[in-house]
Amino acid sequence: MLYISSRSKTDSFTSYRTLCDDRAPDGGVFIPYKLPDVSDQLRLLKNRSFAENIAYIFNLFFPCKLTPRDVEICVGKNPLRITEMSHRLIMAE
């Protein structure tokens, strides 16, 4: 995935560069050039574990091949629960 600076949209940066530097060379923050389409995956979030969701989201933005087990080692097994409140609202508790 490529990233751009919030101040200048002319240069692009790799995900490795965004992890190494806290700011773009012009002082802006890194933002994804294009967000991945996850609309078909949103309903599945409530059925997956926290670790599966975090691994899925991180792997969309960074080429790290993170596994749910990696997340569990770092933050624990169930630090929060995702609950569907209505057909359009999902909340993290």
d(CA 15, CA 49): 26
pLDDT of residue 85: 63
pLDDT of residue 77: 65
Contact status, residue 3 vs residue 34, Cβ threshold 8 Å: no
For every residue of 25-76, DSSP letters joined together read: TTSPPEEESS----TTTHHHHTTS-HHHHHHHHHHHHSS----HHHHHHHH-
pTM exceeding 0.85: no
Q: In this predicted model, which residue has the larger pLDDT, 13 or 79?
A: 13
Longest dimension (CA), the chain: 43
pLDDT at 79 over 70: no
